[in-house]
Amino acid sequence: MPGGSTGKTFVAALTMLLVEDGVLSVDDPASKWLGGEGWFKRLPNDDEILVRHLLSHSSGLGDYPYTMRYRMGSVFRAIRHGGIRFDPEELIRFIDRKALYPVGRGYAYTDAGYLVLGRVIEAATGRTYYDLVRERILEPQGLDQIGLQDRSVLPNITPGYMMGARNLRKDGTMKIDPSSEWTGGGLTTNPTMLVEFYGALTEGRIVKPESLALMLESGWQNPATPDWHYGFGLFVYDDGETFGHGGLWPGYRTHVTHYASSGTTIAVQTNRDGRLDMQSVVTRIAELP
């Protein structure tokens, strides 16, 4: 199934590999790599955003899904083309041009911010994100059941259900084209693959232990909610004792959590996107004797 935003952890892990290689720094201004792009110059806080802010949703950027521009554009494309697909720059342009807060002094979850991060990765390396994540993470770790959402029709996908309605058409397409998600998520997976990925991540087989520590300790931390924060591509709870990520794609929901004290990772998926507390499902499994 599409894993939704659980793919952001792969983006963050790849970013940390590039940091280890010396290709990127978490303190690089995004403008170092994207300053010549017109769409980037129109972003709020464009001259202050660092890579670390994009990783931790602390850039002050808003998001696109609930903007009127995105909704109107989606309706137009659904009517005109029979489906909804946007390039990353188009989605980024939908966000409000007013910053939500000063850079590094707040948190607001934003898919658009991770699309900007994807463009940083590609500009710094001269490679595509999908080629890099396949070569640096998926193939070395044998994660051969994780697929790339780099096309409109995804192979070997179970049908999902939105408000009881099947989301896959007869030709295998969806109303919202999965290739639009890109570095906002952009991977198909199953629970076994997510568990194996987290095992490799926590055992130092993807990034160095000090890189994982930085992923867990970084990010803006709200004094009003000291028990959790968003690090680099991970929701972090209880000072890193528990961490993971959730994901939503129309017709599907995913959740994965790692428990550091026991070394256990639990991942669950469902092929419906209705109201279901996936974290509580994970918690119930964790509490089984």
β-bridge partners, 254: 247, 269
Mean predicted confidence (pLDDT) in 197-215 = 98
pLDDT band at 49 (very low <50, low <70, confident <90, very high): very high
Q: Mean pLDDT, to the nearest integer, of 242-255?
A: 97
pLDDT of residue 107: 98
Say whether pLDDT at 189 is over 90. Answer: yes
Mean pLDDT of 71-86: 91
Averaged pLDDT for residues 203-220: 98
Reduce the secondary structure of the chain to three states and give it as a string. Answer: CECHHHHHHHHHHHHHHHHHHCCCCCCCECHHHHCCCHHHHCCCCCCCCEHHHHHCCCCCCCCCCCCHHHHHHHHHHHHHHCCECCCHHHHHHCCCCCCCCCCCCCCCCCHHHHHHHHHHHHHHHCCCHHHHHHHHHHCCCCCCCCEECCCCCCCCCCCCEECCEECCCCCCCCCECHHHCHHHCCEECCHHHHHHHHHHHHCCCCCCHHHHHHHHHCCCCCCCCCCEEECCCCEEEHHHCEEEEEEEECCEEEEEEEECCCCEEEEEEECECCCCCHHHHHHHHHCCC
**What tokens does 250 get?**
């129309």
Give domain limits for the chain. 4-286
What's the pTM value of the predicted model, to 2 decimals? 0.97
Check residue 275 and give its pLDDT.
82
Does residue 245 have a pLDDT over 90?
yes
What pLDDT, in 10s, does the model give residues 112-139? 999 999 999 999 999 999 999 999 999 9
Rounded distance between C-alpha atoms, residue 132 and residue 89, angstroms: 20
Mean pLDDT, to the nearest integer, of 281-289? 94
- Please give the pLDDT value at position 94: 96
Read off the pLDDT of each residue in 15-39 and give the average, rounded to a whole number.
98
* Domain 4-286, classified CATH 3.40.710.10, yes or no: yes
Stretch 151-158: mean pLDDT, rounded? 95
